[in-house]
Amino acid sequence: SDAGAESWAECMDVAVRTALRAGQMVRVCVMQEKRVSSKSTPTDLVTEADQHVEEMIISTLREKFPSHSFIGEESSAAGEKCVLTDSPTWIIDPIDGTCNFVHSFPMVAVSIGFAVKKQLEFGIIYHCFDGTLYTGRRGHGAFCNGVRLHVSKEKDVSKALILTEIGAKRDPHTLDIFLENMKKMLSAPTHGVRIIGSSTLALCHVASGTAEAYYQYGLHCWDIAAAALIITEAGGCVIDTTGGPLDLMSRRVVAAGSRKIADYIIQKLKPINYGRDDDDDDP
Ligand code: 2AM
Ligand code: CA
Ligand code: CA
Ligand code: CA
């Protein structure tokens, strides 16, 4: 109904303001001494800032929308099931690029996605250091600082710039497959492969047409929720590495400006098995 649509627009306004405030917190915290600890593995970092920013975001949104559900990286206990229900749900990554944040490497973002009946309604990604705000709303397009975004029109993988990330799981088997996949992407040949340390900002590059594609295994719903909507609204394709529709909980994604490039990548990749977010507590 119109009333429903209107209320999601109000949610989106609040989300934008909250993301900007979160970004300001990140800019203050990055100047201060960081308290770093690790979660599931020594490379799975978390700081007090991750926790404080998430608390601010969730308490702000919960106060405005008390009946809504919330999924946030730092409030999702390891091993606890991360379930997306039909209720209006906020999917939050307070600091995407924690390792970058720890080093003050300026590729850090706040990501806020919003789904109703498991369908994404809008996504907000705020680049904390250069101040770019990416927004997408279902049926209304994707924007960067108010300018409409369009994915790359390139369909030739030999002219593609491809992005990926490596998560905190660094056992020899995982790294072997990661490197095998990297070799396949480099020798396709493509123009190049980049790892920038922030899944959400990498995905924003696909939405902006400044990279042709992105693939990753092991990511969580808060890494992909907001970005998936932004890329789709920018005319891109966001799918499972099996070729099926994106499943926010599957921990697998291929995103590209064109289905042709996505299919090429899918056919080359060897899967890294993480299991689903809701039946696996791996990093
Ligand atoms: P984070 O900084 O919010 O943890 C590089 O580490 C990128 O991959 C970051 O966007 C990071 O998100 C994300 N990431 C974190 N853990 C991961 C994992 N286990 N598998 C894949 N990506 C992960
Ligand atoms: Ca993390
Ligand atoms: Ca993340
Ligand atoms: Ca994070």
Nearest to 22, CA basis, from 82, 73, 120, 92: 92
Task: Give me the average pLDDT of each 10-residue run along the chain (283 residues).
Answer: 68 98 98 96 96 98 97 86 92 98 98 98 98 97 98 98 95 96 97 98 98 97 98 98 97 98 97 79 61
With a 6 Å cutoff on the Cβ, whether 165 touches ligand 1 is: yes
Tokens of 57: 């975001």
**Contact indicator for 29, 86 with CB cutoff of 8 Å:** no
Domain 157-268 CATH assignment equals 3.50.50.60: no
Residue pLDDT, tens place only, 222-239: 999 999 999 999 999 999
CA of 132 to the centre of ligand 4 (A): 18
Per-residue confidence (pLDDT) for residue 82, from 0 to 100:
84
pLDDT, one tens digit per residue, over 203-216 is 999 999 999 999 99
In short, whether 257's Cβ falls inside 6 Å of ligand 1 is: no
Q: What is the pLDDT of residues 158-183, one digit of tens each?
A: 999 999 999 899 999 999 999 999 99
Angle at alpha carbon of residue 62, lines to 58 and 66, rounded to 5°: 155
pLDDT of residue 72: 98
Is 93 annotated as contributing to ligand binding?
Answer: yes
Burial of 154 (0-12, 13-18, 19+ CB in 10 A): buried
pLDDT at residue 281 in the model: 54
Homologous superfamily (CATH) of 2-148 is: Fructose-1,6-Bisphosphatase, subunit A, domain 1 (3.30.540.10)
Domain ranges of the chain: 2-148, 157-268
Nearest CA to ligand 1 atom 5: 197
Which residue's CA is the closest to the ligand 1 atom numbered 2? Answer: 97
What does the pLDDT read at residue 78?
75
Q: What local confidence, expressed as pLDDT, does residue 77 receive?
A: 77
Report DSSP letters for 40-57, one per residue: SSTTSEEEHHHHHHHHHH
pLDDT (0 to 100) of residue 1: 45
How far away, in angstroms, is 43 Cα from ligand 2 center?
A: 10
Is the ipTM here above 0.95?
A: yes
Consult the annotation and say whether 96 binds a ligand: yes
Is 283 close to ligand 1, i.e. is its CB under 6 Å away? yes
